[in-house]
Amino acid sequence: MEPLYTLHNIEKKVGENFLLRVEKLELFAGGLYSLAGPNGAGKSTLLNILAFLTSPDRGELFFAGERASWTAGWLQHKRQEVTLVPQNPFLFEGTVGNNLAFGLKVRGIMGRRQRERIYAALGTVGLEGFEKRRARGLSGGEIQRVAIARALALDPRVLLLDEPTSNIDSTHIMRLEQLVPELSRRGVTVVMVTHDQEQPRRMGCSILPIQGGVLQC
Q: What is the pLDDT of residues 74-106, one digit of tens each?
A: 999 999 999 999 989 999 999 999 999 999 999
Could you tell me if 44 and 143 lie in one domain? no
Asked if the structure places residue 137 within a domain, the reply is: yes
Could you tell me if 116 and 199 lie in one domain? no
Closest CA to 92 of 51, 120, 134, 148: 134
Asked if the structure places residue 29 within a domain, the reply is: yes
Summarised one tens digit per residue, pLDDT across range 156-190 is 999 999 999 888 888 888 888 999 999 999 999 99
Parallel, antiparallel or unpaired: strands 206-211 and 58-63: unpaired
Count of structural domains, the chain: 2
Banded pLDDT at 196 (limits 50, 70, 90): confident
Q: Domain residues for 203? A: 1-81+156-217
For residue 108, CA distances in Å to 75, 114, 131, 154 come to 18, 9, 20, 11
- Look up the pTM and report it: 0.93
Question: What's the rounded Cα separation, in Å, for the pair 113 and 183?
Answer: 20
What confidence score (pLDDT) does residue 195 get? 85
Asked if the structure places residue 88 within a domain, the reply is: no
Could you tell me if 113 and 200 lie in one domain? no
What confidence score (pLDDT) does residue 171 get? 84
Domain final residue, candidates 154, 170, 185? 154
Q: Are 100 and 150 in contact (CB under 8 A)?
A: yes
Domain final residue, candidates 135, 154, 173? 154
Question: What's the rounded Cα separation, in Å, for the pair 25 and 32?
Answer: 14
Percent of the chain with pLDDT over 90: 84
